[in-house]
Amino acid sequence: MKYGIALFPPKNIQDFANSYRKRYDSHYALIPPHVTLKSPFDADDQEVKTIVKELRKIAAETDLIPLKITKFSSFYPVNNVIYLKIEPNETLERLHKQLYSGIFTDKPEYVFVPHITIGRDLSNAEYADVYGQLKMQTVHFEETVDRFHLLYQLENGSWTVYETFRVGKEQE
Amino acid sequence: MKYGIALFPPKNIQDFANSYRKRYDSHYALIPPHVTLKSPFDADDQEVKTIVKELRKIAAETDLIPLKITKFSSFYPVNNVIYLKIEPNETLERLHKQLYSGIFTDKPEYVFVPHITIGRDLSNAEYADVYGQLKMQTVHFEETVDRFHLLYQLENGSWTVYETFRVGKEQE
């Protein structure tokens, strides 16, 4: 099965992201607004058991995750993805690194740029138009997130949550 | 915020359900195929903390949940919902009961008929046509489920998983 690891931002940020995703993101119906922590990977039932144990261990050592968003950005010219940029922080960086080391032998395809995609698969003209407007907008969210999720993909491309991992040592 | 409690059947059942939901279920894009354990209810941040603690306690006392599906059924004439019928079992019954007692003061609107919806909001003609075909089909799934989920609803009507609760004492 195909698995992925992601975190969901708080509801206010998800609602904000969806107001754009509805029009611009072809994955709108497949998964809620999210920050990908580890790209989709294949694992069988036995491997997933090991992965879940490892994720519990990693989560137990992870602090609450700051999520500061101050602007829209884009991966152009690599692709036409438009996203809400998450300010890099040590907690996210370390978490990402841990998800690509130890038992995780695959390597990240790109440098880690934490983000919430709000547009993709746009034509060049549409991309230029939409991004031209969004990059002028001011955005400000400052939140913390206390959990991330392991998800698996269904045949129709949508994602179902398999398990939640809570972070932040002060949690009860 | 609006919350709900549901379980997701294994991937094979979700894929099977989606092959129908895609055409017949207006909620197809809002949530993966699921069995509703507790209907949507409102709770604030403080109440949810209490609810999460209670759900952990309930989950710890719950056995693995059998999921046996042998036919399509329908809520007609109450409404035109078509669903995969889950054979009632003691574990599901008790879990449902616990989600409507103790700290949960709301009462179930209907008798508990565990099911996975695969069609809704169909016209009477379409309902008759589709259900006429489906009720002749044989279906057979026999699985167990080792977790259920607390979800919350976004402004667009879609559901995001808040937390997973694992059941089944023999689990590591």
Average pLDDT over residues B12-25: 97
Query: Chain A closest CA to B62's CA: distance in Å?
Result: 17
Indicate the pLDDT class of residue A19, thresholds 50, 70 and 90: very high
* B49-63 per-position pLDDT tens digit: 999 999 999 999 999
Domains in chain A, number = 1
Whether residue B92 lies inside any domain: the answer is yes
User: What CATH code is carried by the domain that includes residue A93?
Assistant: 3.90.1140.10
Taking any CB pair shorter than 8 Å as contact, residues of chain B touching chain A are 1, 8, 11, 14-15, 18, 22, 28-29, 32, 53, 147, 149, 152, 154-156, 158-164, 166, 172
Indicate the pLDDT class of residue A29, thresholds 50, 70 and 90: very high
* Whole-number Å distance between alpha carbons of A109 and B162: 29
* Whole-number Å distance between alpha carbons of A46 and A87: 36
* Whole-number Å distance between alpha carbons of A44 and A35: 24
* B78-129 per-position pLDDT tens digit: 999 999 999 999 999 999 999 999 999 999 988 999 999 999 999 999 999 9
Whether residue B33 lies inside any domain: the answer is yes
Q: Cβ–Cβ of B32/A154 closer than 8 Å?
A: yes
- In 3D space, the residue among A3, A27, A1 whose CA is nearest the CA of residue A116 turns out to be A27
What are residue B168's phi and psi, to 5 degrees?
A: 95, 105
User: How far is Cα of residue B164 from the mean position of the Cα atoms in its chain?
Assistant: 14
Q: Cβ–Cβ of A164/B162 closer than 8 Å?
A: yes
User: For residue B35, what are the domain limits?
Assistant: 2-166
Whether residue A123 lies inside any domain: the answer is yes
Active site residue B96: no
Whether residue B171 lies inside any domain: the answer is no
Whether residue B172 lies inside any domain: the answer is no
Whether residue B32 lies inside any domain: the answer is yes
* A128-157 per-position pLDDT tens digit: 999 999 999 999 999 999 999 999 999 999
Whether residue A154 lies inside any domain: the answer is yes
Whether residue A172 lies inside any domain: the answer is no
Q: Cβ–Cβ of B15/A147 closer than 8 Å?
A: no
pLDDT at A56 over 70: yes
- In 3D space, the residue among A169, A172, A10, A12 whose CA is nearest the CA of residue A91 turns out to be A169
The ipTM is 0.90
> DSSP assignment of B125-169, as one string?
HHHHHHHHHHTTS---EEEEE-EEEEEEE-TTS-EEEEEEEE--T
- Please report the pLDDT score of residue B109 as a whole number: 86
- One-letter amino acid identity for B146? D
